[in-house]
Amino acid sequence: MLRIDLTGKRAFVAGVSDDGGFGFAISKALAEAGATICLGSWPPALGIFTKLMERGKMDESMNLSDGRKLEFEKIYPLDAAYDTLGDAPAEVRENKRYKEVGDFSIEGVRGLIEKDFGATPLDIVVHSLANAPEVKKPLLDTSRAGYLSAVSVSAYSMVSLVRALGPLMRPGGSFLSLTYMAGERVIPGYGGGMSSAKAALEADTRTLAYEAGRRHGVRVNTISAGPWASRAASAIGFIDMMINYTKANSPLPRSIDASDVGNTAAFLASPLAAGITGTTVYVDNGYHAMGMAVTPPAP
Ligand SMILES: NC(=O)c1ccc[n+]([C@@H]2O[C@H](COP(=O)([O-])OP(=O)(O)OC[C@H]3O[C@@H](n4cnc5c(N)ncnc54)[C@H](O)[C@@H]3O)[C@@H](O)[C@H]2O)c1
C-alpha cells in the first residue's frame, strides 16, 4: 500500500498557539504520519497556550487516530517579526510576555534547535502565521507602517525562516507556508496589506524554491486554503460569511476542514511529493476555479 510515512522525520511548525488553526491541524497530520513535532509559538500567546495544555483543555484534540497522543518535542518562543534579538525594540524585549522567554527571534530559534538536536535535525518546516495590525482597514486606508508590518510578519518571515533553517535541513527537506486567495483576487475586507503579503508569499514560494532548492536541496511550497474559522481568521470579522459564501459557490459544496489542509501538508512534506516544489496547492474545494457565483447573494 502507498502510505504517507514520515517516521524518523522532525518537523518545526511555526504559528501554533491553540488547537483551532491550520498549524495545529498540520502538526497533528504530520504526527499521524509518524513525524516528531517542535513548535514555534508567538510570545504574547505562549502563556495561554501552555496553560490550555497543562489544564487538559486540549486533551481531546491531542488524540491521534491510533490511540497515541500528539506530543511536542519542544515549544520555542518565536516572534517572526525579528530576525535577531537585536532587531526587537527595547519595549518589546522588556514587555512582560517577552522578558522571560529568552531569544524569541528567528535566529534565536535556529540556535536553540541546533543546540537541542544538532547540526542537521530538520526535515519539515511549516510557516503557519500571519499578522497585520490594520487588517480591518481597506488597503487604500492602510498606513505605510501597517502595510510594511503585514508584509514583514506574514511574508518576509518566510524568507528569513528558509535562510535560517535551510542549512539545518536533511536531504529531501520540505518547507511549506499557508496562503489565501486574496493574494490573487479581490476579497473585500481582507485589508491592512494582508492581500499584498499573500501575493508576496506566493511569488517568494517560486523564487525560494529555486534558490533553496539549489543551495540546500529542499522543496518550498504553499497551500492556498479555503476559509476556516481559526482565531486569526475570526479576528478579521467576517469569517462565517466567507465560509458560507465559499461553500455555496464551490465545485464541492462543503466547508473545508483544517484536517484537509493537514493531510495535504503531510503529503507535500513526504517523499511522495519529491517532485513538487515552487507551487501553490489549493485546498479550497475548488473555489479558485470558479468565475461566477452559483447562488444569488442573501437578501
Ligand atoms: N483561516 C483561514 O481562513 C485561512 C485561509 C487561508 C490561509 N490562512 C493562513 O493560515 C495561516 C495560519 O492561520 P490560521 O488561520 O490557522 O490562524 P491561527 O490563529 O491558528 O494562526 C496564526 C498564528 O500566527 C501567530 N502569530 C501572529 N503574529 C506572529 C508573529 N509576529 N510571530 C510568530 N507568530 C505569530 C499567532 O499566534 C497564531 O498562532 C496564516 O498564514 C493564515 O493567513 C488562513
Which residue out of 13, 18, 101, 129 has the highest number of ligand 1 atoms within 8 Å of its CB and is therefore the one to mutate?
129
Name residue, grid cell 501552555: 50
Is the CB of residue 230 below 6 angstroms from any atom belonging to ligand 1?
Answer: yes
Q: Is 225 in the pocket of ligand 1 (CB under 6 A)?
A: yes
Distance 195 CA to ligand 1 centre (A): 14
How confident is the model over 97-111, as pLDDT tens digits? 999 999 999 999 999
CB of 180 within 6 A of ligand 1: the answer is yes
Of the chain, the end-to-end C-alpha distance in Å amounts to: 50
pLDDT at 298: 57
Confidence of residue 297 (pLDDT cuts 50, 70, 90): low
pLDDT, tens digit (0-9, with 9 covering 90-100), for 129-167: 999 999 999 999 999 999 999 999 999 999 999 999 999
Confirm or reject: Cβ of 81 under 6 Å from ligand 1. Answer: yes
What's the pLDDT tens digit per position in 17-65? Answer: 999 999 999 999 999 999 999 999 999 999 999 999 999 999 999 999 9
Kindly give the distance from the C-alpha atom of residue 21 to the centroid of ligand 1, in angstroms, as a whole number: 7
**CA–CA distance, 292 with 189 (Å, rounded to integer):** 19
Q: Is the CB of 80 under 6 A from ligand 1?
A: yes
User: What is the widest separation between alpha-carbon atoms in the chain?
Assistant: 59
Q: Residue 114: count other Cβ atoms within 10 Å of its Cβ.
A: 16
Hey, is 146 helix, strand or coil? Answer: helix
Q: What would the pLDDT profile of 64-78 be if each residue is shown by its tens digit?
A: 999 999 999 999 999
Q: What are 88-137's pLDDT values in tens digits? A: 999 999 999 999 999 999 999 999 999 999 999 999 999 999 999 999 99
Give the span between the Cα atoms of 229 and 224, in whole angstroms: 15
What is the spatial distance between Cα 250 and Cα 273, in angstroms, rounded to a whole number?
Answer: 26
pLDDT at 257 over 80: yes
Task: Work out the mean pLDDT of the chain and round it to a whole number.
Answer: 97
178 lines ligand 1 (CB under 6 A): yes
Residue 296 Cα, ligand 1 centroid: separation in angstroms? 31
Known catalytic residues? 180, 190
**What is the rounded distance in angstroms from the CA atom of residue 74 to the CA atom of residue 116?**
9
Ligand 1 atom with the smallest distance to the CA of 177 is: 41
Ligand 1: does its nearest atom lie under 6 Å from the Cβ of 190? no
**Confidence tier at 295 by pLDDT (50, 70, 90):** confident
Grid coordinates 510557516 are at which residue?
A: 127
Taking CA atoms only, the protein residue closest to ligand 1 atom 10 is 178
Q: Which of 16, 18, 22 to mutate to test the pocket of ligand 1 (most atoms within 8 A of CB)?
A: 22
